[in-house]
Structure 1
Amino acid sequence: MNIFAKAAQLEQDNIPFALANIIETRGSAPRHSGQMIVKADGSIIGTVGGGMIERYVIEQALEALKERKPRVVKGRMTRNGPDAMGMDCGGAMTVFVDVYGLRPSLILIGAGHVNRAVAQAAHVLGFDISVADAYADSLAEEHFPAGTKRLLGDTMEEAIDQLDINKDSYVVIATNHQDQDAISKVVDCETRYTGLMASRRKVQTLFTHLRQSGVDEARIKNIHSPIGFNIGAETPEEIAISIMAEILKVKHESAGGQLKDDTRLNQNKLVLVRGAGDMATGVAVRLFNAGFKVVMTDIAKPTMIRCSVSFGQCLFGEPVQVEGITACKANNKDEVFAIIDRNQIPVVVDEECSYAGTLKPTFLVDAILAKHNVGTQKDMAPITIALGPGFTAGKDCDAVIETNRGHHLGRVIYQGATQPNTGVPGNIAGYTHQRVLRAPCAGVMHSHVKLGDLVQEGDVIAHIGDSPVVAPLGGMVRGLLNNGLSVREGFKIGDIDPRGEEADYTTVSDKARAIGGSVLEAMLHLEQHTMS
């Protein structure tokens, strides 16, 4: 069997491999033509010349398999210089590495009419299909596309045991009366997607059974059920399209929805939020959950203290999650829309709010809470809303939201200003100023505890330079500035929640949630009255 016949067999069996092909040589290259198969375990078939250049091609081929992307590999048989291989031959070689045998794995549990239709739809989309059932007649060859792996067991559990379910699998459960057996068997498997075809009432019954069986709630939440998109599907073929659309959404990490609603074309759902601290994040969570596309801006190194509930934390490195919503740093307009397409929230460094002109959002929300206006103008967007003191509705914004705790918290004001800043932190268990940590001097912040830690009065929480910051009372560390930030004397660097273990530092606060609801109310009201 020649190398191309072997490659064809591996591709048919969906076994991952890379095919390396010499496309250019110069000088004393070990070979001037040749192909080599590199399997995922590093074993090879064929050669591109041996020696150090071949070892390098194998390493690059394995990397290409991991990335699932082809690449061009260059090597020079010299001791020094670009692409040097540490050799004395003096030649050069360019190798093209392509990857194969990487069809996504679709596992169908149940071989009834719906999964037969799913198999037909998935086949033309390039999926590698396996189907399992306990009824031999249901698994008849004529029901499924060529190449489908059909697995029969005496019971559904035995049939499932024969399947190779892994973290890259897409699993669809559609059985007649064995849903409970199937989902109980699969729920703890790591997959890219697990979908269960069942009515809403049946879903409740099955999920209750899983909870009573001790299945972790996070596992249950990962099950897509009822399965598919709501397109009014009734026939098996229509249901199959609905299911495969949902699988493709997951596969491509797409936000879904209709193309006509793409925020590049339609800004009616696009909201730009100035600020990405805890209050701005509370607003973003409410708007995101209501179906709006949210973009947030902040300074390069935000000085928020409620880092665990602030989307701005992503500007310090990795993406962050708050209440199941992911935020990622974006560096330009294209990245903003790419993150939105993944159904996430982009956060950009933009102190001057230049993205208001770039993105042209319908809504702009100033949630910086600087206690004064730092540059927001009413004409920055068709509808402009601001939080707290420093703004006058009708002058520099269309609406302003009351942020002082008390009877009027969350009140929407369409003409005039909010109450002035009291300067008094919120009262928690009788403590206001006492629970706030402030810098004793100017310097760089270095913390000795982390958010969520329980501390006692007098414990050293942090240092500003060489000066210690001690806990003024016992409780939970609910707020803490990021390490390494420079602060001025008197700057707020953290706070202690006297409720201790009863405090919650992982979810949006009641105040932020209430204000977020008021922003949503103002947006809908102004949209109805100013844009109709």
Structure 2
Amino acid sequence: MSDKIIYFARDLLEKGEDFVIAKVVDTHGSTPRKKGAWLLMKQDGTTAGTVGGGRLEAETEKLCKETFKTREKSKLHHFKLNTEERDALDMGCGGDADVLIEYIDASHPEEFVEEFHLETTAYIFGAGHVGLELEPVLRYINFKTVAIDDREEYANRERFPQAADVKVIQDFKHAFEDIETDEDSYIIIVTRGHMGDYDVLKDALKQKSAYVGMIGSRKKNSMLFDMLRKEGYSEDDIARVHAPIGLSIQAETPEEIAISIAAEMIQVRANND
């Protein structure tokens, strides 16, 4: 699936809009597109991607529109792409194509999200007031959430019952010992103190990630950045950090701060796509 379709699908899921996916799952002989070609259709008929153009595309789009009416979860369609057989599409390719058409219910997108890795991981360092409010918001917008703290009374399943994982670590100096991040990882630093934030930040800048955000005032963050410079971190390293974390919406309460952080993460995720 192309980045364009991934972004299209993610945007629709965040808006709560259902859509239909058509994917070429098998081909034989000469066909315009091979296995792995995709087409996504919105409810208004807007599409992204292609399964090959011509009559194959037209027939597929027609079936996608019918699927919005039937809401059929998954159905395989076999197309003959030659000019000889009576039920063929008369495309001149001479091959066959199997196209699977799926209805994606935005209220239950779990299988689709898992299959196409639309769910990026958010590592929340700090399970206090802000972390507690942020975790469910990020889950709602299709982030896989991991809550992390050095206090078991804060990082536990009673407080984070639906998080993908809850970790109690020895201290924030060892924040990433059992964590392997990647280019789709989002690191949120909201510990209970400056030095906890700094310990996580030092290691966070050594990890692969799409986003690093740290809570705190500009004065406090400036002080921590000066400490990073003294330890040899570059200006490019420091420029990776979103600090103060979140979009500037005059957020004050933990709930408001959570919304501002989530909004900034949506913005970064969209730009990365």
TM norm. shorter chain > 0.5:
yes
- 1:474-493 matches, within 5 Å, as none
Cross-structure match for 1:306? none
The correspondence for 2:222, drawn from 204, 211, 214, is 204
The correspondence for 1:186, drawn from 190, 200, 204, is 204
Q: In 1, Cα distance between the equivalents of 2:233 and 2:92? A: 52
Q: TM-score, normalised by structure 2?
A: 0.61
Q: Which amino acid is 1:241 matched to? A: I
> Is structure 2 residue 118 aligned with structure 1 residue 100?
no
Q: Which amino acid is 1:124 matched to? A: Y
Distance 1:71 1:130, change over 3 A: farther
> Is structure 2 residue 150 aligned with structure 1 residue 137?
no
Cross-structure match for 1:160? 176
Distance 1:96 1:211, change over 3 A: same
Q: How many Å apart are 1:196 and its aligned residue?
A: 0.3
Q: How many Å apart are 1:185 and its aligned residue?
A: 0.3
Are the equivalent residues in 2 in contact too, given 1:151–1:162 (CA < 8 A)?
Answer: no
Distance 1:147 1:182, change over 3 A: closer
Q: Which amino acid is 2:266 matched to? A: L
- 1:110-509 matches, within 5 Å, as 110-144=126-160, 146-177=162-193, 178-253=196-271
Deviations 1:104-146 (Å, cap 9, x if unpaired)?
Answer: 3222112111111111221222221112222222111122251
Q: In 1, Cα distance between the equivalents of 2:263 and 2:148? A: 22
Q: Which amino acid is 2:245 matched to? A: I
Q: How many Å apart are 1:76 and its aligned residue?
A: 4.5
Deviations 1:166-189 (Å, cap 9, x if unpaired)?
Answer: 222222101113111100000133
Are the equivalent residues in 2 in contact too, given 1:187–1:219 (CA < 8 A)?
Answer: yes
SS in 1 for 2:216: coil
Q: How many Å apart are 1:83 and its aligned residue?
A: 7.7
Q: In 2, Cα distance between the equivalents of 1:160 and 1:83? A: 57
Distance 1:117 1:60, change over 3 A: same
Are the equivalent residues in 2 in contact too, given 1:118–1:237 (CA < 8 A)?
Answer: yes
Number of positions where the alignment pairs a residue of Structure 1 with one of Structure 2: 201
SS in 2 for 1:230: coil
Q: Which amino acid is 1:111 matched to? A: A
SS in 2 for 1:138: coil
Are the equivalent residues in 1 in contact too, given 2:23–2:51 (CA < 8 A)?
Answer: no
Q: In 1, Cα distance between the equivalents of 2:189 and 2:244? A: 11
SS in 2 for 1:100: helix
Q: Which runs of 5+ in 1 are unaligned?
A: 1-18, 23-35, 37-47, 255-532
Q: In 2, Cα distance between the equivalents of 1:227 and 1:211? A: 20
Are the equivalent residues in 2 in contact too, given 1:203–1:225 (CA < 8 A)?
Answer: yes
The one of the two structures with greater contact order (alpha-carbon pairs below 8 A, sep at least 6) is: 2
SS in 1 for 2:186: strand
SS in 2 for 1:142: coil
Structure number with higher helix proportion: 2
Q: In 2, Cα distance between the equivalents of 1:145 and 1:220? A: 34
Q: Which runs of 5+ in 2 are unaligned?
A: 1-20, 41-47, 57-78, 84-89, 105-111
Distance 1:21 1:139, change over 3 A: same
Q: Which amino acid is 2:174 matched to? A: E
Are the equivalent residues in 1 in contact too, given 2:132–2:160 (CA < 8 A)?
Answer: yes
Are the equivalent residues in 2 in contact too, given 1:109–1:133 (CA < 8 A)?
Answer: yes
Distance 1:83 1:181, change over 3 A: farther
Q: Which amino acid is 2:241 matched to? A: I
